[in-house]
Amino acid sequence: MKYSLSALVENKPGVLNRVVSLFRRRNFNIDSLTVGRTEDPELSRMTILLEGTQAEAYKVEKTLLKLPNVVHVEHLHGKPIVIRDLALIKIRVDAKTRPEVMQLCNIFRARIVDVAKNSVIAEVTGPEDKIESFLNLIRDIGVIEMVRTGIVAMERGEHGLAPVNEYTRTVARTARTVV
């Protein structure tokens, strides 16, 4: 089963390396890992998708919290969340297949972001299964190359990942050094 974790980390060099090393040392496979800026320039948000048991996912969550520079971690499994992935797909086209590709893009709400004589680049956003369905139909036409961003996830409603301020950062750092 796949589990999603969301982590707020200090926006400093080496933090990503520490997180990835934790997974390597514990022999966990990362299905998807995305990192991006947040509304606070001192923090980045990681969305980690891993495959395993619920116990393994909770173990990863607890271990992440012990790392320096990790401010907060939340297990998103079972919560109402919005999950998105983005793919750019370069598709081989000719005069015959171009209308079919355009129609498939309309059906999947994909945007054509580049057009060349023998190819188009489609941008498709949504849950993984939507992107996989689009890919399955486009493969027969001809995929030249593809790149995906990885999963980003956010809990629905007013709840944020963590109310972070200097006090909670200090408490988090102190709790880690005491343990």
In 3D space, the residue among 68, 57, 122 whose CA is nearest the CA of residue 93 turns out to be 122
* Span 123-164, pLDDT tens digits: 999 999 999 999 999 999 999 999 999 989 988 888 777 655
Q: Which domains does the chain have, with CATH numbers?
A: 2-80+157-178 (3.30.70.260), 82-148 (3.30.70.1150)
Reported as a pLDDT band with limits 50, 70 and 90, residue 45 is: very high
Query: 0.85 exceeded by the pTM?
Result: no
Helix (H, G, I), strand (E, B) or coil at 66: coil
* Span 90-133, pLDDT tens digits: 999 999 999 999 999 999 999 999 999 999 999 999 999 999 99
Provide the CA 120 distance to its chain's centre, in angstroms.
25
Helix (H) or strand (E) segment spanning residue 3: strand 2-10
* Span 165-178, pLDDT tens digits: 554 555 455 544 54
Residue 45 to residue 53: CA distance in whole angstroms: 23
The residue written with tokens 């190359």 in the block is 145
